[in-house]
Amino acid sequence: MTVSSQNIDQVIRILKKEMRDLPDPSVTLVGKKWKDPFLVLISCILSLRTKDATTLPASERLFRAATTPQEMLRLKPQEIEKLIYPVGFYRTKARVILGICRDVIGKFAGKVPGDMDTLLTMKGVGRKTANLVLTEGFGLPGICVDTHVHRISNRLGYVRTRTPYDTEMMLRKKLPPEHWIDYNALLVTWGQNVCKPVSPLCSRCGIREYCARKGVEKSR
């Protein structure tokens, strides 16, 4: 069996039940704790090429020092570097963060924009980040596709795509809108804990009866 338009609602209900005791992704936790699109955006930047176990503590250290673009710009790049280390590319990210703060103040009157096209004009902000800001920062519909969402959506047989961009576009056509906001957090958490890239834990998977197991050569 594969996940289809007919059973996707049931699959998502099962995932929500299975993940009650599993931690949310770091950016989702930031969104729930601070409810601030700016802090969600900064946490998204920190999360790129970095594991959640590193991203969340780094975000918390930085936010103890600054929680607004104005406060962030009072920090020197070296101070931000020290606060966010050891996230991946921490030196580059410190400068990207300061650039974003200047844009937010200079171009957007101190407020993070709440639409995809405008978010994408900011240096360092791609579709993954923009979608997360919309969903986790503003509570607006969006479909964030990272490596977990791309892999699992294809593994389930729900889509057949080659790139994360193609996956996002297909999901926008196929996934019911009421699931858009939750879809990323559900699949990221599932991918980190059960549906791993190599040797997924299929014996523990609550949605295995719906899964086509595309590309799975070995499982546990």
Span(s) in the chain for CATH 1.10.1670.10: 8-23+142-210
pLDDT digits (tens, 9 = 90+) for 36-94: 999 999 999 999 999 999 999 999 999 999 999 999 999 999 999 999 999 999 999 99
pLDDT digits (tens, 9 = 90+) for 132-175: 999 999 999 999 999 999 999 999 999 999 999 999 999 999 99
pLDDT digits (tens, 9 = 90+) for 88-124: 999 999 999 999 999 999 999 999 999 999 999 999 9
Span(s) in the chain for CATH 1.10.340.30: 35-137
Torsion of Cα atoms, 76 then 82 then 84 then 87, to 10°? 120
Cβ–Cβ < 8 Å for 101, 72: yes
How far apart (Å, rounded) are the C-alpha atoms in residues 140 and 125? Answer: 17
Torsion of Cα atoms, 77 then 64 then 148 then 132, to 10°? -90
For residue 2, the model assigns a pLDDT of: 86
Its pTM stands at 0.94
Helix (H) or strand (E) run with residue 168 in it: helix 164-174
End-to-end, the C-alpha distance of the chain in Å comes to 19
For residue 8, the model assigns a pLDDT of: 97
Cβ–Cβ < 8 Å for 186, 17: no
Instruction: Indicate the CATH number of 35-137 among 3.30.350.10, 1.10.730.10, 3.30.390.50, 1.10.340.30.
Output: 1.10.340.30
- 8-23+142-210 has which CATH code? 1.10.1670.10
